Amino acid sequence: METAIPTTPTPDDAALWHAGRLYLADQRILPERAEFLVYERADAVAEAIRDMVVRGAPAIGVTAAYGVVLAARAAFAAAGAGWKSAIEPDLERLAASRPTAVNLFWAIRRMRDRIAVLDAADPEPALLAEARAIHEEDRAANRRIGELGAALIEGPTDIITHCNAGAIATGGYGTALGVVRSAFAAGKVRRVYADETRPWMQGARLTAWELMQDGIPVTLQADGAAASLMAMGSVGWVVVGSDRIAANGDVANKIGTYGLAVMARYHGIKVMVAAPTSTVDMELASGAAIPIEERDPEELLGCGGRRIAPAGCAARNPVFDVTPAALVDAIVTERGVVLAPTPEKMRELMG
């Protein structure tokens, strides 16, 4: 069972392992309150991922890795030398928690690879070391992404970002906001315009909060206001993260990203997708094969605990959409930059 603790998280604290327990910053209540929830069971971690306590593809992957550690602890306590069989139900629960973010499956697969070479002894120390390595590698990857993405920006300019791809969506530093942080430090960013991002308002609640914490000028705008801002001529880039990138460079990201990219192309504005290579799924030929999560329509029918739509109104609530590679100017990863992505360029990137 999750329990609130008084420690206050910062934007770099989406997930922390401390004293044998996993702490997750509750992203559902930011910025009104900043607090951790503590987890000791893998099934509760899976529920936290499903319920949006933690969100953002890299952060979900890091969280799932720590969830595997908790699963291993429970399996060894229950079955001893037979822990490899006993852990399977928890691994399946973790994998089923969200369908679109490929980092979730990447992290579980990497932990499974580690499990495969372990013997019958207590697996927790080895799996914890692997989970910590995943976490640290993601932090380092984000900083490299920030450097490479910032190098593409000729400033000073304004930037539009959609949803939240900041430190709290990752292992630390951020993907899209990592680019913003690095570019701002280099004097290339005048102002960031953050789309509010209905219905969970990640842009309003999380992106604005993170940028204000860093002292980066930010202005919030309704999702539908982006085109009018683009027409004013001050925006040079749209910079977003991703939850899954297909082998041809098609990009799944928060719902509304596709429309933003269409508008950017019309106005001559470049689109940058910042994501670690753990987000790239070379097994999917195109974005058409990416599973798109649909959440409870009630999330769209109300706002702030108050229903805003008439009773009986139907609602469609896809969480992501797919932006075709043809609308993406640059995919920035820790391994390098892919300009005008194609299947051949993606294969070269991924080796």
> Catalytic positions, please?
243
What is residue 294's DSSP assignment?
Answer: B
Token pair for 19: 């004293």
Burial of 117 (0-12, 13-18, 19+ CB in 10 A): exposed
Residue 75, both tokens = 């399996």
CA angle 22, 55, 202 (to 5 degrees): 130
Instruction: Give the Cβ contact number of residue 334 at 10 Å.
Output: 21
Nearest to 175 by CA among 185, 187, 186, 163: 163
Contacts of 95 (CB under 8 A, 6+ apart): 104, 105, 108
Contact 136, 267 (CB under 8 A): no
Query: Would you say 255 and 294 are in contact if contact means Cβ atoms under 8 Å apart?
Result: no
* Two tokens, residue 105: 């499956």
The pairing of beta strand 270-274 with beta strand 330-333: parallel
d(CA 8, CA 10): 7
- Please tell me the distance from the alpha carbon of residue 332 to that of residue 312, in angstroms, as a whole number: 44
Would you put residue 184 in left (φ > 0), alpha (ψ -120 to 50) or beta? Answer: alpha
Report H helices in the chain: 42-50, 57-79, 83-86, 88-95, 102-116, 124-152, 176-185, 202, 208-214, 226-231, 257-266, 298-301, 343-350
Whether the CA torsion 121, 125, 129, 134 is positive or negative: it is positive
